[in-house]
A = this chain, B = another copy of it.
Amino acid sequence: MTGLNRRHLLTGTAAIGAAAALAPLWPTRATAAVPAAGAQAPGFYRYKVGSFECTSINDGVATFPMPDAFVTNVSKTEALAAAQAAYMPDGMVRVPFNPQLINTGSKLVLIDAGNGAAAFEPSKGAVGRTLQNLAAAGVDPKTIDAVVISHLHPDHTNGIRAADGSLAFPNAEIMVPAKDWEFWMSDANAAKAESNPMLKGYFANVRKVYAGIESKVTRYDWGKEVAPGITAVAAPGHTPGHTAFAVASGASKVLLQSDVTNIPEFFLRNPDWHVVFDIDPDMAQATRHKFYDMAAAEKATVVGFHFSFPSIGHVEKDGAGYRLVPVTWTPVL
């Protein structure tokens, strides 16, 4: 155990000094230094659900200074402590985004579309990567049959537009929750939101993103399939029409939770914390408990839009809250 002390483990300085005084252990090689790659691996990951082939697509990770009221019902100090406990960069909060692609064998369905090219100025380049990661996965966006939006927040819906404003998935039916469409397209609701800059922006965003394509949009209802084997599950509160999905094939099922929680480090561990984006935080909290109590009891596989890529795990009860157990990365399907 000669080397196992803090000096060697975490600074290595003594050892480095000692080695420098000796002949180097590494001889000079003929090979030239290899330049750094400078780029991350592509962000896609496949998993099977019965005969369905699913692909988790990373739209990226936003890292931004902790807003004053990111969690509306605890202090900023408490939120910062939770971020620090989750090893986020000092003073920052980090939010991943992960749409899911489902190939049912007859239909290619994208659940949520990510931030799109223009969003999240502070994290430019780190989000809006859905098209790039679909390409890395060998998926032509023209082959996608349906884009099913879980709710009409920008990070889920803006990716239906490419950088030039054209439709990113030109042959896809665009499906939105009927209750969310009704809520966000209501001029009366928009007028009420005038005093809240965030909400005002969201109302404007929905109108901008869907301008001119309203007739292409199909509105779906809870309790029905949006595609064969993919059932819309009511999960309201985050938004009035916020929807989770049960994906079932043969004896296998997974739950796409969408935004039942935002980041699990905050809202799975503390299910009674309210994220600033919730339209009805008390209802979102009730949905959260009901959803996770059920998922934990059933040992269901849960996919979270805001979980760390590949964003798949199991949820377990942990005291008054829950914990996420990520799946083991599997190299073969």
Give the interface of A toward B (CB within 8 A).
1-6, 8-12, 14-16, 18-19, 22, 25-27, 29-31, 33-34, 36-46, 53, 55, 58, 60-61, 86-88, 94, 96, 103, 105-108, 125-126, 129, 136-139, 142-143, 145-146, 171, 173, 175, 218, 220, 222-229, 231-236, 244, 246, 248, 253, 255, 286-287, 290-291, 294-295, 298-300, 308-310, 314, 325-333
Interface CB pairs A-B, < 8 A, 23:
A1-B236, A1-B287, A4-B294, A5-B294, A10-B255, A12-B246, A16-B248, A18-B223, A26-B107, A26-B227, A29-B173, A31-B171, A33-B108, A37-B53, A37-B55, A39-B333, A40-B45, A41-B45, A43-B331, A58-B329, A86-B325, A125-B332, A126-B332
Please tell me how many copies of the chain the complex holds: 2
Partner of A232, one of B3, B33, B222, B295: B3
Return chain B residues, CB-CB under 8 Å to A26.
107, 145-146, 173, 226-228
Chain B residues whose C-beta falls within 8 Å of the C-beta of A3 in the assembled complex: 222-223, 231-235
| Closest residue of B by beta carbon distance from A13 | B248
How far in angstroms is the closest Cβ of chain B from A196? 26
Residues of B within 8 A of A235 (CB): 3-4
Residue of A29, A129, A229, A234 with most partner-chain B CB within 10 A: A29
Residue contact A226 to B36, C-beta cutoff 8 Å: no
- Kindly provide the distance from the CB of A17 to the nearest chain B CB, expressed in whole angstroms: 10
Q: How far is the CA of A143 from the CA of B222 in the complex (A)?
A: 56
Q: Is there an interface contact between B233 and A9, defined as CB atoms closer than 8 Å?
A: yes
The 8 Å CB contact of A248, one of B12, B14, B40, is B12
Contact of A94 among B8, B309, B328 (CB under 8 A): B328
Decide if A37 touches B46 in the complex (CB within 8 Å): yes
The answer to whether residues A294 and B331 also contact, given A87-B325, A326-B308 and a CB cut-off of 8 A, is: no
Candidates B96, B103, B105, B246; contact of A10 at CB < 8 Å: B246
Docked Cα-Cα span, A314 to B96, in Å, equals 19
In Å, the complex CA distance between A45 and B231 comes to: 34
B40 close to A46 (CB less than 8 A): yes
Contact for A87 among B45, B286, B314, CB less than 8 A: B314
